[in-house]
Amino acid sequence: MNPTKTAAWNNLTDHYDQIKGLSIADHFYRQPNRGDEYTLQSLGLHIDYSKHRLNQETIRLLVKLAEEMELSQAILAMFRGDRINRTENRSVLHTALRDLSSSSLMVAGEDLLPEIKRVRQQMEVFSEMVRDGSYLGHSGKPIRHIINLGIGGSDLGPAMVCQALTPYQHPHLTVDFVSNVDGSHLAQVLAGKSPDQTLFIVASKTFTTQETMTNALSAKQWLINHYNGDQKAVAAHFIALSTNQEAVCEFGIDPKNIFVFWDWVGGRYSLTSAIGLSIMLAIGKDNFKSLLSGFHQMDRHFLQTPLESNIPVLLALIGIWYNNFWGAQSHAILPYDQYLHRFPAYLQQTDMESNGKSVDQQGKVTSYQTGAVIWGEAGTNGQHAFYQLLHQGTKLIPADFIAFTKSHHQMGDHHQKLLSNFIAQTRALAFGRTVEKLSQLNIPKELVPYKVFDGNRPTTSIMAQQLNPDILGKLIALYEHKVFVQGHIWNIYSFDQWGVELGKELAGEILPELRGGLAGGEFDSSTNRLINYFREHQS
Ligand code: F6P
């Protein structure tokens, strides 16, 4: 269904005209208790959405839009395993991977939970052996270095989580991630590592991805060179996470070292599947369980909570409000926690690969905007880089500010300073600084226009006590479901990614040209020139 044809969309358009003149400060003037009224506290999260250009009527109409778009039915359909990824004819069941409370999940006559549990158990046994030093490499030494070779969903999630949960990491294991086909990435990570104590995880759902397979082959060569050509070393030093068992075996990986998952797990939604093995190796099985439990609690909340107090739904609807009614093009993710500095990059794939679409579920080009540009950086670093534009630029950029009351490192007053910045920024963005305020200060007149802050820049503040596995699971699931809600309301297919195909295909055509052959001539003049420039400047 086209969302713009609903009554709620029309009403929202009228409502926008009625309230567009009201600033966030005006809303606070009319509702001085907004800080209380527009805060949700649930699952250990404190979500303050008061500093937005909206009132209760806005929320009511947005919820109506979700109802008219039959959001609740869509949520149920995903959880019960309907093939909602229609262009790939697949179910979307990442929620089943962390379902710690159901006794069965029947999909097309098959109970999925026993197989999910079996793989999780296989991961637990394996990770415990590596962690306690009883898993030995080819020359009988315990593993000290883990290198995950994967890209996109087979890299971003595990890399982000391992970084975020650094305080929970095994003290004697290093965990690295190599994604880029740029050989510098692999070379940099391999430097200084002893092959006989290194374990490679080849993480690839399809086991055909160019970058991952190229890195895996080079890593294999590095290992075999160390063992003077002894191919048998591969079995002890390479494991695979994949849905494609045949290709894994062809690569030479021991079938007992394959950790499988299924086509109903989307790449960018896969970190709680076998793709999360690097996480389990880093933080141990109990912390991994807490992570799953956090995910599961948010899944339940999403499934069971009425739309108006459902955290992912509310944040999704507020995003739609800015995207489709105020014309916002981007959305910033600003975690005030250094350990979360990969979170914006991770969410870029979750959100932009899911909702960066312009054809609706009926095959028609959408007449309205869909997914926003997601970007961000950890605070306070971003304050010294791009916040100037957030405060005084010409763009409207709604932002999520994320922070934790307790630090993992009690170091002087660092944490109070960090949090004072976190709180100050959303206040400055919302309320700004007026000419009248400036006139009370001793500012030279000619500088006044430059020192005015219009304010009225919307933010959501998300707080929790500490960045631990449970809270991180909840946060990630919150954004996964936010993306689902937006994709559903925009009437697009959020779980395919056809838009990444063309570039891959053309790279396949261009590669032989770069390897040699005749001078270019098959492509457009720009492409030909680039190819020729490469050929002429290699040595
Ligand atoms: O190029 C996009 C993509 O297909 C992502 O959706 C996926 O997460 C990534 O590539 C890696 O794919 P694979 O796990 O199959 O190697």
Active site residue 384: yes
Please say whether the dihedral angle defined by the alpha carbons of residues 202, 206, 212 and 217, taken in this order, is positive or negative: positive
Say yes or no to pLDDT of 170 above 80. yes
The single-letter DSSP state of residue 350 is I
Confidence of residue 520 (pLDDT cuts 50, 70, 90): low
Say yes or no to pLDDT of 538 above 90. no
> Ligand 1 mean position to 152 CA, how many Å?
5
Looking at every residue in the chain, the average pLDDT score rounds to 96
CA dist 434 and 248 (Å) reads: 63
Confidence of residue 518 (pLDDT cuts 50, 70, 90): low
Taking residues 116-125, what's their average pLDDT? Answer: 97
H or E element: which one contains 376?
strand 373-376
Residues 6 or more apart whose Cβ sits within 8 Å of residue 128: 284, 285
* Number of Cβ within a 10 Å radius of residue 136: 15
Taking residues 301-329, what's their average pLDDT? Answer: 98
Residue 202 in contact with ligand 1 by CB distance below 6 A: no
How confident is the model at residue 405, as a pLDDT?
A: 98
Residue 6 in contact with ligand 1 by CB distance below 6 A: no
Residue 275 in contact with ligand 1 by CB distance below 6 A: no
Taking residues 182-189, what's their average pLDDT? Answer: 98
- Considering only CA atoms, which residue is closest to atom 6 of ligand 1? 267
Active site residue 353: yes
H or E element: which one contains 310?
none
Say yes or no to pLDDT of 521 above 90. no
- Considering only CA atoms, which residue is closest to atom 9 of ligand 1? 152
Residue 152 in contact with ligand 1 by CB distance below 6 A: yes
User: Which residue is it, tokens 């050509």?
Assistant: 229
Which tokens sit at 44? 């250990």
Distances (CA, A) of 325 to 319, 362, 369: 10, 23, 10
Asked if 92 contacts 265 with a C-beta cutoff of 8 angstroms, the reply is no
Taking residues 370-382, what's their average pLDDT? Answer: 98
Kindly report the three-state secondary structure assignment for every residue of 194-232: CHHHEEEEEECCCCCCHHHHHHHHHHHHHHHHHCCCCCC
pLDDT in tens, 199-238: 999 999 999 999 999 999 999 999 999 999 999 999 999 9
Confidence of residue 539 (pLDDT cuts 50, 70, 90): confident
> Ligand 1 mean position to 495 CA, how many Å?
12
| DSSP-based three-state secondary structure for 242 | strand
> Ligand 1 mean position to 275 CA, how many Å?
12
CA dist 509 and 512 (Å) reads: 6
CA dist 140 and 156 (Å) reads: 32
Which residues on neighbouring strands pair with residue 48, listed in sequence order?
39, 461
Asked if 42 contacts 311 with a C-beta cutoff of 8 angstroms, the reply is yes
Which residues on neighbouring strands pair with residue 178, listed in sequence order?
149
Confidence of residue 113 (pLDDT cuts 50, 70, 90): very high
Active site residue 88: no
Confidence of residue 519 (pLDDT cuts 50, 70, 90): low
Confidence of residue 513 (pLDDT cuts 50, 70, 90): very high
Taking residues 421-435, what's their average pLDDT? Answer: 97
> Ligand 1 mean position to 151 CA, how many Å?
6
> Ligand 1 mean position to 505 CA, how many Å?
14
Say yes or no to pLDDT of 288 above 60. yes
Which atom of ligand 1 is least distant from the CA of 153?
8
Asked if 488 contacts 71 with a C-beta cutoff of 8 angstroms, the reply is yes
Asked if 335 contacts 422 with a C-beta cutoff of 8 angstroms, the reply is no
